[in-house]
Structure formats: structure tokens, C-alpha cells
Structure 1
């Protein structure tokens, strides 16, 4: 079983590790021994734990999960030359990673928190020599899409990487709407979860516009609710959310 070495032990690293733990051996590197032990406990399997200072990355498959602002600091604490560096850092370009880390290849990846349940939509770009291996690795936590360049992955970061937060807002708002009209909170949440579960399957095969048209009968309840969403400028707000998140990814 191949070993993946995580540098960083935050929420994203844990989410990805949960998806990989049955297919790969997990090694995790961090600054604090207690946090590394907590990572192992939450993951539920034994992992090899190492402190960051003077850690040797020679010939390792590295999965970089630190904060973008800490790239330079973290890189100075490492020794050796990695076989490949997979980075999940938003807005951190391949050239910057090559400038700071000693590695034979770099692949940028943008998974999302659904990695922990094996449902991440992960976008990838970088050294095409590792395209197949990168897809195999990240297919272990969901599905993947290889993109042509870094501009595209920064846009994808705004969509797939940040998207769970946007959908969470929609889910919460729809539930609140049902509660406002008199539905019990517990019932509203259960119905909302069922809605998202079914919709997730439908959207794989049917274009969103066709899904909408299939539900919206003339003069019906859906048409009335949809008109309220358009009045609230929800469509444009979603478009602008992607634009602003993309701009932020570029600035990071």
C-alpha cells in the first residue's frame, strides 16, 4: 500500500485523509505533537506522525495542506527532494511551489470537504507525467477533473472548493423558509436533506435548466417560488459569488 505524506493537519487534511485511509498508508507532519495525536484519533487509524522541523521528504509523495501564507516558512523546515508534491493550497501557483519546495514534480489539486465522505469534486492541473497517478489518488475521495491550466483551477476553486459553503447557505435558507411557514425544524431539516440527496443524483444526468422546466408547471407553486428567487436576484448573486471568490484565489 502506497504512503501519502500530509504536511499539515488541519480540517482539509483530515477530510482528505478520511477518504484515503482505506487505500493508502497515511503519514502526517505538523508542528505540535498533541495535534498530530488528535489527527490520528479523529482519523480512526494508525498513522506515522512526525514533527515538521528538519523533516526529510526524500522520494516521498507529499500532500501539502498548510495555509498559503505559510509556504515559505514551512518549506525552510524540510530536507531532501520529494518525488511529487500535491498541493491543495488555494491561489498558490505551481511556480511558487517549485521556487520554495525541492520536488521533481508539482500537481495542484482543489478538493472540497466532501472528501471525508468520498464525494469530493477535485480539480487538478500541473505536471502531466503525474496526471494518471493524481487522478487515481484523488478518485479515492470522489471524482476528478483535469484542467488545462492554472487559471481554470483558480476558477474551479471558486466553484467546487468554495461551493459547499454556498450550498450550505441555500440549504439553511430553504429550511428557514419552511419553518417560517409553520413546519417543525426537525421535519424541515430532514426534508431538505432528502431534497439535496435526490437532486445530487438527478443533476448528474439532467441539465439544470431542464430540471427546472420539468418541475415548474404553469401558474403553479414552483413558478411562484422561482419568481421570488429571481426577484431576489439569486441567480446574479451566485454568478458574482464565483467572480469574487476567483478574484480572491488569484490574489492569495
Structure 2
């Protein structure tokens, strides 16, 4: 069984590791052994655990899951030259990764929170020699899409990487709206979850504009609610959110 090495033991590392543990042997390097023990416990499988200082990544397939601000510091702690480094760090260019980590190849990947339930939308770019391998690796936690430039993956980060937070806001707001009109909170949550579950399947097959038109009858309830969303500039706010998140990704 091939070994996958995680540098970093945060939530994203755990989410990806959960998707990989049935097909790969997992090892993790981090700063704190107590946190590494909790990582192993949460993963519910045996792993090898190491402290970052002097960890040797020679010829290893590494998934880098640290904070972007810690790239230089962590790079100095590691020894050896990795076979390939797959980075999930938002807005961290390939050149910066190559500068601070010794590796034969680099791939950037941007999974999202849904990796924890095997339903991530992960975008990738980098060394084409490892395209199929990276797609297979991250395919264990959902769908993947290889992009041809770092600009594209930074834009995709703003959409798919940050998107769960935007949709969570919409979900919470819709449920709150139903509660405001008199529906019990627990019932509003059940209805909202059912809405998102069904919509997630529909959007795989039908263009958003056609979905909207299919629901909106003339002078009906959907038309009234939709008009309120337009009056609130929801469409413009969503587009602005992508722009702001993209710009932030390029600044990291």
C-alpha cells in the first residue's frame, strides 16, 4: 500500500486523510505530538506520526496542509527532497513552494470543506507529469478539475474553495426567513437541508437559468421572492464576493 505523507494536521488534512485512508497508508508530520495523537484518533486508523523538525521527506508523496504564512518557516524544518509536493495552500504560487521546499515536482490543489464527506470540488494545476496521479489522489474526496494556469486556480479558489461559506450564509438566511414567518426552527432546518440536497442533484444536470425559469410561474410566490433577492442586490453581492476572494488569494 502506497504511503501518503501529510505535512500539517489541521481540519483540511484530516478531511483529505479520511478520504484516502482506505486506499493509502497515512503518515503525518506536525509541531505537537498531542495534536498528532488527536489526528490519529479522529481518523480512526493507525498512522505514523512525526514532529516537523528534521522530518525527512525524501522521495515521499507529500500533501502540504499548513497555513500559507508558515511556508518559509516549515520549509526550513524539513529534510530531503520529496517525490512530489501537492499543496492545498490558498494563493501560494508554485514558485514560492519550489523556493522553500525541496521537491522534484509541485502540484497546487484547492479542495473544499466537503472533502470530509467525500464530496469536494477540487481544482488542480502544476506539473503535468503528475496530473493523473494528483487527480486520482484528490479524487478520493470528490470531483476534480485540472486547470491550465495559476490565475485560474486562484479564481476557482474564490468559487469552490470559499463557496461553502457563502452557501452556508444563504442556507442560514433562508431558514431564518422561514422562522421569521412562523415556521419552527427545527422544521425550517429540515426543509432547508432537503432543499440543498435536492438542488445539489438538480444543478448537476440543469443550467441555473433553466432551473430558475422552471420554478418561477408568472405572478407566483417564487417571482415575488426572486424580486426581493434582486432588489437586495444578491446577484451583484455574489459576484463581488468572488472578486474579493480572488484578489485576496493573489495577495496571500
TM-score of the aligned structures, taking structure 1 as reference length: 0.99
Q: CA deviation at 1:107?
A: 0.1
CA distance in 2, matches of 1:142, 1:23: 14
Where do 1:1-252 residues align within 5 Å?
A: 1-252=1-252
CA distance in 1, matches of 2:115, 2:38: 19
CA distance in 1, matches of 2:222, 2:23: 44
CA distance in 2, matches of 1:23, 1:249: 32
CA distance in 2, matches of 1:148, 1:111: 17
3-state SS, counterpart of residue 131 of structure 2: helix
3-state SS, counterpart of residue 224 of structure 1: helix
State the Cα deviation string for residues 184-227 of structure 1 (Å, max 9, x = none).
00000011001000000000010000000000000000000000
Q: CA deviation at 1:79?
A: 0.6
3-state SS, counterpart of residue 89 of structure 2: coil
CA distance in 1, matches of 2:169, 2:19: 25
Q: CA deviation at 1:38?
A: 0.5
CA distance in 1, matches of 2:41, 2:165: 26
CA distance in 2, matches of 1:20, 1:167: 26
CA distance in 1, matches of 2:24, 2:230: 46
Structure 2 gap ranges (5+): none
CA distance in 2, matches of 1:235, 1:11: 31
Q: RMSD in angstroms over aligned alpha carbons?
A: 0.5
State the Cα deviation string for residues 66-89 of structure 1 (Å, max 9, x = none).
000100000001111100000000
Q: CA deviation at 1:122?
A: 0.1
3-state SS, counterpart of residue 29 of structure 1: strand
3-state SS, counterpart of residue 91 of structure 2: coil
Q: CA deviation at 1:17?
A: 1.0
CA distance in 2, matches of 1:195, 1:100: 45
Q: CA deviation at 1:15?
A: 1.1
The number of aligned residues is: 252
Q: CA deviation at 1:25?
A: 1.1
Structure 1 gap ranges (5+): none
TM-score of the aligned structures, taking structure 2 as reference length: 0.99
